[in-house]
Structure 1
Amino acid sequence: MSPSPTSPEIERVAERYRERGYYVDLDPKPDMLPPEVRDYRPDFVALRDFEKVAVEVKRRADLAASPFLTRLAEQFRQVPGWRLDVALIEEPKAQAEPQLSLLSSADISFRFDTAQRAGEENKDYGAAVLLFWTIIEAALLAQLRDRNEERVLPPKRLAKTAYSFGVVDDARLPVLEWLANIRNDVVHGRQANLAEDDYSRAKTLTRQILDDWKTNVEGS
């Protein structure tokens, strides 16, 4: 399987839609899509007059391995005003990039303990959630590397790629996407309005992903 499209590649496709007069939303919320396809996560949504377009960016070599797109396109055709566009991009030129070191087991344990102190003693839920995300990212990237996906991906793309490779399942994906959004809010200085329940949810997901990783390693 080819590497997943990167954010700059998706942005270049989005710019082509802007040049044609579309408004582009690179972070469409689920309720922006029609109910019939609300479980689907497009790379972006483009809007113009009465046109609503969900856009999936795919490498040409991966198109044959994505038969769900045909069914999905038919679902969109049943919804007035909507359609699905599949934007094809070429394979990236091979580049020799040094592989970045991921967190060790000791690093993960230390960060998990630090996150717990931040959340439970200091009530700094933003700091705690951010630390939990770094642990999750290390665990997911390690498993993706085992599947020959070497790129360091932005949070939301990481969640989508981990799901497509079978690293996370249907039950984990919505929580992972939620946490990716929270992580982005915290990192970019936006008000996240986190509560203790959010902290607990992030902590539980972190433990689950670490347990899944351990199970996969032991089973390989």
Structure 2
Amino acid sequence: MNKDSEKVALTKAAKEYLDQGYEVTIYPTKDELPMPLKGQMPDLIAFKDNQYVIVEVKSKLSPSEANQLKVFADIAEKQGWRFDLISIDEDTKPTLDILTQKDMELTWKKISDLKHLGFNNSAFVYVWAMLETLMRSLVAKENIRVHSNTMYSPLLLVKTLYSYGVLEEEDFNKLKHYFSIRNRIVHELNIGEISGNELEDFIVLAKKFINEN
């Protein structure tokens, strides 16, 4: 990424948040970060009305950077904050790694082991993570041009694939349902294990999606 372009975009973003009445910190130190962000290194944080906005400025993404964006998005969702991804090239064809056959085999093995041990929630999250990666790859494969924020919002990914006719309506509705389950597992405390039947139904849908695409 061009660091000069990044600094220009970050400075511009900081001014826009300041104009909206936010307190803005660029490249916050660990002492300037709120507790949920300790150990993270966001490009910018903005604060107003007891709410934070986590801001990242990116262009091309490595797999590790893509994972970091998901971490920020999950923290923001859990805290009721906002995560803003600012892309220097806002309209871009995604170029993310594609899962290899070996990756999928290893993931299915892990899912099977977790399921056998009764850890249905953990198995469910692994299935969703694999599906999400495949959906991002499919957006790239189909040459669907999207705003970069879409690539890190699972629900927007699902809606995009449905709007382009890649997903059938029945599967679209099922994925929205499973996304709500994924959110409960990831973000709620003391949630019980989902049923084996619910997990198995999701696995069937995931395998159908993989085989068709």
TM-score by length of 1: 0.49
Query: Structure 2 stretches of 5 or more lacking a match?
Result: 1-86
Correspondences of 1:131-150 after superposition (within 5 Å): 131-146=126-141, 147-149=143-145
Structure with higher helix content = 2
Match of residue 207 from structure 1? 207
Match of residue 156 from structure 2? 157
Correspondences of 1:7-86 after superposition (within 5 Å): none
Query: Could you say if the C-alpha distance between residues 205 and 97 of structure 1 is closer, same or farther in structure 2, counting changes exceeding 3 Å?
Result: closer
Q: What CA distance in whole angstroms lies between the structure 1 residues aligned with 2:97 and 2:103?
A: 12
Match of residue 115 from structure 1? 111
Q: What CA distance in whole angstroms lies between the structure 2 residues aligned with 1:180 and 1:206?
A: 12
CA apart distance, 1:165: 1.6
Query: Could you say if the C-alpha distance between residues 112 and 211 of structure 1 is closer, same or farther in structure 2, counting changes exceeding 3 Å?
Result: same
Q: Is the 8 A contact 1:144 1:165 kept in 2?
A: no
Query: Could you say if the C-alpha distance between residues 167 and 199 of structure 1 is closer, same or farther in structure 2, counting changes exceeding 3 Å?
Result: same
Query: Could you say if the C-alpha distance between residues 97 and 127 of structure 1 is closer, same or farther in structure 2, counting changes exceeding 3 Å?
Result: same
Query: Could you say if the C-alpha distance between residues 109 and 181 of structure 1 is closer, same or farther in structure 2, counting changes exceeding 3 Å?
Result: same
Q: How many residues align?
A: 123
SS of 1:168's equivalent?
coil
Q: Is the 8 A contact 2:97 2:137 kept in 1?
A: no
- Where has structure 1 moved over 6 Å in runs of 4 or more? none
Match of residue 106 from structure 1? 102
Q: What CA distance in whole angstroms lies between the structure 2 residues aligned with 1:112 and 1:134?
A: 12
CA apart distance, 1:206: 0.9
Match of residue 188 from structure 1? 187
Post-superposition CA distance 1:88-115 (Å, at most 9, x none)? xxxx762589833232221111111211
TM-score by length of 2: 0.51
Aligned residue identity for 1:202: F
Decide which moves more: 195-204 or 141-150: 141-150
Q: Is the 8 A contact 2:119 2:193 kept in 1?
A: no
Q: Is the 8 A contact 2:96 2:136 kept in 1?
A: no
Q: Is the 8 A contact 2:94 2:145 kept in 1?
A: no
SS of 2:170's equivalent?
coil
Q: What CA distance in whole angstroms lies between the structure 1 residues aligned with 2:89 and 2:122?
A: 37
Post-superposition CA distance 1:124-158 (Å, at most 9, x none)? 11111111111211221111112233632312212
Aligned identity (percent) is: 18
Q: What CA distance in whole angstroms lies between the structure 1 residues aligned with 2:162 and 2:152?
A: 13
Q: What CA distance in whole angstroms lies between the structure 1 residues aligned with 2:197 and 2:157?
A: 24
Q: 1:127 aligns with which of 117, 122, 142?
A: 122
Aligned residue identity for 2:187: H
Post-superposition CA distance 1:34-69 (Å, at most 9, x none)? xxxxxxxxxxxxxxxxxxxxxxxxxxxxxxxxxxxx
CA apart distance, 1:192: 5.7
Query: Structure 1 stretches of 5 or more lacking a match?
Result: 1-91, 214-220
Q: What CA distance in whole angstroms lies between the structure 1 residues aligned with 2:160 and 2:93?
A: 20
